[in-house]
Amino acid sequence: GAGVSQSPSNKVTEKGKDVELRCDPISGHTALYWYRQSLGQGLEFLIYFQGNSAPDKSGLPSDRFSAERTGGSVSTLTIQRTQQEDSAVYLCASSLAGVAETQYFGPGTRLLVL
């Protein structure tokens, strides 16, 4: 595709429900990143995939968060039993081959947990 796409663009959910966020990276990009930006806060790194594997998941805020990537392309970020503090914009980015490269950002998914 022309750029990184994310879906949904907006998601409102009730506390305790599970949500799944999707990221479609630029075709051919092997590296994929998930970030979070809470209201009025800076960007926070969540996880990085090289191909289908994520070498380190320690950036995920809690064990309610999980991420996977299949086929070296689409990635999903799943938040189980959502809490109000999970409300944020979740951003995905991709780069051609890995770290120390220009990243291309998606438009983000705005998540609101009521």
Partner 1 sequence: KNEVEQSPQNLTAQEGEFITINCSYSVGISALHWLQQHPGGGIVSLFMLSSGKKKHGRLIATINIQEKHSSLHITASHPRDSAVYICAVDPWGTGNQFYFGTGTSLTVIP
Which residues of the chain form contacts with partner 1 (CB under 8 A)? 31, 33, 35, 42-45, 48, 50, 55-56, 58-59, 89, 91, 93, 98-105, 107-108
Q: How far is the CB of 81 from partner 1 (least distance, A)?
A: 26
Q: How far is the CB of 9 from partner 1 (least distance, A)?
A: 10
Between 22 and 80, CB nearer to partner 1: 22
Question: Which token pair is 5?
Answer: 């796409």
CA distances from 70 to 38, 47, 111 (A): 27, 15, 23
Q: Is the dihedral of CA 88, 52, 7, 27 positive or negative?
A: positive
Encoded amino acid at 100, one letter: A
Between 42 and 71, CB nearer to partner 1: 42
Instruction: Give me the residue label for tokens 């081959």.
Output: 97
Between 17 and 45, CB nearer to partner 1: 45
